[in-house]
Structure 1
Amino acid sequence: MEPNYIQIQKGDTAAFRYFFEGFYPALCFFANKILKDEEAANDIVQEAFILLWEKKKDIRSLRSAKSYLFKFVKNRSLNYLRDNHSKNIDKPEHAEPSFSYRDFVIENETYRLIYDAIKTLSPQEKRVIEFTLDGMKNPEIAKQLDVSVNTIKTLKSRAFKTLRAKLKGVSFHFFMLFYAELFES
């Protein structure tokens, strides 16, 4: 169960760790989308969480904490690009970050919901979906799990049916992207 902001406010390290582990990958992805530098992105996100912990008494909701983290990471990432512009002058991808903050947040939250739903699948279905998301094709997964390709197709179909039921409220657009990724192989 997701911690509430009061637990974090009071210094509950387990609640903060849960919040950190659930949100850290998304922020790293967000920062890296701006920076195209994974190490710098990770450093900025770690700094954001350290500052959030130091200001934990000011947290008024988990939503405001997430908003604070996104704004901090975005601003620090853009500052990093500005300050290191001369180093990246020959890299056109660093010229202007092209992303929609709102769309990124929606997409990221959608994927978080999908991955939470994946965690509820049976162990075998979960492994098949995880291998698929890692880019493996059905024959590769079958070989890895020492089962037939038809078994993989059946497991994927069952997993997809379960996910569709659990994710009724998820944006159709993002769910269809996910669906296409799963059944591409």
Structure 2
Amino acid sequence: MTVPDKIKLTRDNFRKIFDQYFASLVGFANTFVSDIELSEDLVQEVFVSLWEKQDEYQNEVTLKVYLYRAVRNKCLNNIKHEQVKNKYIAESVPKLETEEFFLDQVLSEEVSRLLYRFIGELPKQRQQIIRYSLLGLKNPEIADIMGLSINTVKSHKLNAYKELREKLGKHAYLVAILLEMNI
């Protein structure tokens, strides 16, 4: 009795394996996800993974078991992902439909619009420093990018914040009106 040769993936035998198992794996996947196009996509992902791993398999049975398990796991992961997505949607939609959420978003957008308008009215260097700061850059990073000292950045930032507070303060009535609408 001879021991079957191990299966090492080459371009030729990979193509044969793909041709031999693709249709049946798609049918198997479809029993889980009930969507033929999704089933084809999931099976293709399994074959891509198979090719990337470049593992050696004891025999054809071992390879077949691997393929069916991998497809099953892909399908189950997809189902779990869809359940999480559907739960999120189910929880989010009622909140998104509320008047309170709508007014909060209007307020947020209006304040943001005013803030960016006022940033645009600052001197160019201060504008850039504030924009970098809004992107999350720290003073030393901003100083390095702009070729300034850290103290210059701090000074410009302090003055910019002061100007922005004054300008936003003049428009506090708008914020108050929007907040009042939110009651």
TM range (shorter): 0.3 to 0.5
The two structures have a TM-score, normalised by structure 2, of 0.43
Q: Which has the larger radius of gyration?
A: 2
The two structures have a TM-score, normalised by structure 1, of 0.43
